[in-house]
Structure 1
Amino acid sequence: MPIPPILDVFVVWHPDDAIGAERFAELHEHFHSPAFSGLAGGAVEVYARSDPWEDGGPPRPLGIATPLGEGLPTAQFNAIVPIIDTNLLRAAAEAAKPWNTYLREIAELNQRAGVGVYPVVAKGLQWGTSTVSQILGGIQTLPADVNADAGLFGRELAQAITQQIQHEANLPARLTVFVSHTKHRSSEEASRSGPAMFERVRDHIQRSHLSAFFDAQDIQPGGDWERTLEDAAGSSALLMIRTDVYAAREWTQREVHAAKHSGMPVVCMYALTAGEERGSFLMDHVPSVVCDLADPDQGVALALNRLVDEALKNTLWHAQTSYLSEDGFDWLPAQSPEPTTITPWLASHQETQPDDKHLWVIHPDPPLGPAEREVLLQLCAVAGYDVDVDILTPRTFAARGGALRT
């Protein structure tokens, strides 16, 4: 299954600007985190462009406009992150200087489909009258705060890349967060829902570049919640504020069920005080973050960071499925299958392909555990598929030689 790279991130900086190496290390760690490790092959890679390719010159070419060599295909999506600091301003000050030419080529690439340029300016740097500003100043920079917060840096870039891909696919450009939370029926329930967690999450989102969707405010009376979630799944993600009474509420169960059914990324933020009387199988099987109710800001930020990463992972997985589907898979969900998602898919598959006798499913790594897999196979058997069912991940598929066997 040779799959070309889906996303390449190029961090570009002058070798004498120390912050460039710091920002590169942060992005390298971010895009090699568990959030992206489940994609097929080398789906996401981060490259440094700093040291001169030739004596006294700029770094190695990016290989986007012209491939670097045979067998080195250009990624489907490319993110270029110039780190702008004092030495880069000096090196590109004159039109004849190699760094000036290099940056102009980057600015030209920003006009190409599948390419986004996301400059980062050193904190406090006055660059508005510089030559670099004339070259890159028309491109929106990432917030200056990313220089002091690696998590925010990863989130802002991941969101910008996601939105660029969505825009090119004619989807709503701004990433929307659906916030799923409980409403208080009594003062006792309010005390078990944490210290105004909903308001704290809302404040964080309003200070970000995310668009927020709060059900109580934004769904019109008589609106169809399931259809709203389904229609927005391609450009949205759902955040659960899981307080003590959250899992038992009918409406929050419906919200999470609809999000999972539509393929929307879901992240759970645990904000428990005394604990739950009972959980819900609908709420699990998603990434989770623990929020310290005594100091919730860090937990909220981590939850939003992970939610944006999940949105980008979903976007990249769907890009990969255009290649994986050629291998003959029947279902390629962006999240690992579970009873909540496999049962409606089985019903739909039986209706559209009643003669299919062998199910081939692939989902992002890691693989399901033996007990989880057994439950899904039992459900498949109930649906009439009791012999030939293969549930794979990119790694287990590659271990089998990268080809389906019948």
Structure 2
Amino acid sequence: MPIPPILDVFVVWHPDDEGGVKRFRELQDHFHSSAFSGLVGGAVEVYARSEAWSTDGAPRPFGIRTPLADELPAAQFNAIVPVLSKEMARAAASGGWKQFIAEIGALADLPGVGVFSLPSAGVDLQSGALSVALGPFQVLPQDVVENPKMLGRELDQAIAQKIRSEDDQAARITVFVSHSKHRSLSEDDEAPAIYSLVRERIAESRLAEFFDAHDIQVGDRWVEELEQNASEHALLIVRTDRYAERPWTQREVKAAKTAEVPVVTMYAIRSGEQQGSFLMDHVPTVVCDLDNRIPGIEAALDALVTEALKSTLWNAQRSYLKADGFDWLPARSPEPTTIASWLTTHKAEHPDDQHIWIMHPDPPLGQAERDVLIQMVELAGYSDDVNIYTPRTFAARGGEVK
């Protein structure tokens, strides 16, 4: 079935503001990156609202309250990002721009709409036309204006929090930081030190409004908590030299993957690994330079915020994809760890099911990976009709399960 857009991002700026088009291109690059490209086509789009559309100088309407055309339905979630400038402030005092800015404020009262203003230097949100229409809404920090990565992270966080709050989910996500608790000669006790630095970086940023970082202690009942409410959790793996061989870290990763929570691995390996573990793969990874840790930690946190938003958007698409008859719609590509657990549950709950249809975000699995999973499914007793799709491979087959 056709899937409506899930998230539309509208970047609004005055035509005389040179910085506005830069912010638009930065957000285009961010939301068109590989992190979001794996969702069902058209899931996330970024639109510009700047040039005059009517004789009064106002930009084109958003199409949120009233669709622009029958074939252009409004997205399920809409993020409006006004790039505030002195030029916009002057234009908003009268005429078409005044009405356009007022409409942004009115749209914010609708479900599924968030307004996230981005102020330029010297813009006063305490008085004037912009303060009346946009003052009550969330303002992104000004220091992200010249930092595209931070701009992407701040907006990802703001959108995810908005969607989660409307879905009656907790605004904050508990980030379990999984690390090796006992030192080896090569690690020199680096994992606990990195964990402490992760907490410091979260506490010193606006991520504290989104992430609640917790160390996983041996004996904790965090697995039960994670399984009961997976949507409120994420896992950051600090992978040092001995991490992959520790029994408890393997259990932590397995539990997180089975519960389908966002997972990001930060490589902090100094000497190397003897064996590694197949449990640790199939997740986004970031490299942390142990002699300069902060950039790697920041990159890992960026990736975790993006994974949280991506997971939220995929969950929104699931309700439409289920109508096509898919049995499983995991937020990450399936792997032996996750498919074994899912097959056990599925076989118990649907003993008479004759097919296995799976869809996961792009990119598709490699042929060798797919062959292993198909073999596992067949060993579980399903051999007549087994298909593993991504949105692109599904579309290439005409949008029908065959």
Rounded to whole Å, the distance in 1 between the matches of 2:293 and 2:219 is 34
Residues 35/144 of structure 1: CA separation in 2 closer, same or farther (3 Å cut):
same
Map Cα deviations across residues 186-207 of structure 1 (whole Å, 9 max, x no partner).
6x35526369322221111112
Report the equivalent of 1:128. Answer: 126
**Match among 172, 175, 178 for residue 174 of structure 1:** 172
Offset, 1:54: 2.1
Aligned residues: 399
Counterpart of 1:264 in structure 2 is 261
The alpha-carbon deviation at position 129 of structure 1 amounts to: 1.8
Listed as ranges, the matches of 1:86-97 within 5 Å are: 86-94=86-94, 97=95
User: How much does 1:148 deviate?
Assistant: 2.2
- Sequence identity percentage: 57
Match of 1:114 in 2: 112
Contact 2:49 2:59 in 1 (8 A): yes
Partner letter of residue 404 of structure 1? V
State TM-score, norm by structure 2.
0.95
> Normalized against structure 1, the TM-score is what?
0.94
The reply to whether residue 36 of structure 1 matches residue 36 of structure 2 is: yes
1:345 aligns with 2:347: no
Q: Alpha carbons of 1:176 and 1:16: their partners in 2 closer, same or farther (altered >3 Å)?
A: farther
Secondary structure in structure 2 of the residue aligned to 1:229 = helix
Partners in 1 of 2:233 and 2:85 — Cα distance? 34
**Counterpart of 1:119 in 2: which secondary structure?**
strand
- Check conservation: 1:192, 1:272, Cα contact below 8 A: no
User: Counterpart of 1:35 in 2: which secondary structure?
Assistant: helix
Q: Would you say 1:79 and 2:79 are equivalent positions?
A: yes
- For structure 2, the residue ranges without an aligned partner over 5 or more in a row are none
Distance in 2 between the 1:127 and 1:352 partners?
56
Aligned counterpart, 2:140? 142
- Tell me how far 1:55 sits from its aligned partner: 3.7
CA deviations 1:347-367 (Å, max 9, x no partner) are: 111111111111111110111
- Alpha-carbon separation, structure 2, partners of 1:300 and 1:277: 24
Aligned to 2:7: 7
SS in 2 for 1:244: coil
Given that 1:206 and 1:212 are in contact with CA atoms closer than 8 Å, whether structure 2 keeps it comes out as no
Q: 1:191 aligns with which of 185, 188, 196?
A: 188
Cα distance between partner residues in 2 of 1:93 and 1:231: 51
Cα distance change, pair 31–129 in 1 and its aligned pair in 2 (3 A): same
Give 2:17's aligned residue. 17
| Contact 1:244–1:272 (Cα < 8 Å) also in 2 | yes
- Measure the CA separation in 2 of the matches of 1:193 and 1:381: 44
| Corresponding residue for residue 235 of structure 1 | 232
Give the aligned CA root-mean-square deviation in angstroms.
Answer: 1.7
Q: Which residue of 2 aligns with 1:288?
A: 285
Stretches of structure 1 lacking an aligned partner (at least 5 in a row): none
Matched AA of 2:63: G
CA distance in 1, matches of 2:365, 2:43: 21
* Paired AA for residue 263 in structure 2: V
Letter in 2 for 1:261: T
Q: Helix, strand or coil: the match of 1:191?
A: coil
Q: How far apart are residue 214 of structure 1 and its match? A: 1.5
Given the alignment of the two structures, is residue 314 of structure 1 paired with residue 299 of structure 2, yes or no?
no
Q: Is the 8 A contact 1:194 1:293 kept in 2?
A: no
Q: How many angstroms does 1:79 deviate by?
A: 0.4
Is 1:326 the equivalent of 2:323?
yes
Within the candidate set 358, 362, 376, 2:359 is matched to: 362
1:203-222 alignment runs, 5 A limit? 203-210=200-207, 211-216=211-216
**Could you tell me how far apart the structure 2 residues matched to 1:163 and 1:224 are?**
26
1:402 is the counterpart of 2:399: yes
CA contact (8 A) 2:174 2:214 kept: no
Q: Which amino acid aligns with 1:171?
A: Q
The letter for the 2-side match of 1:118 is F
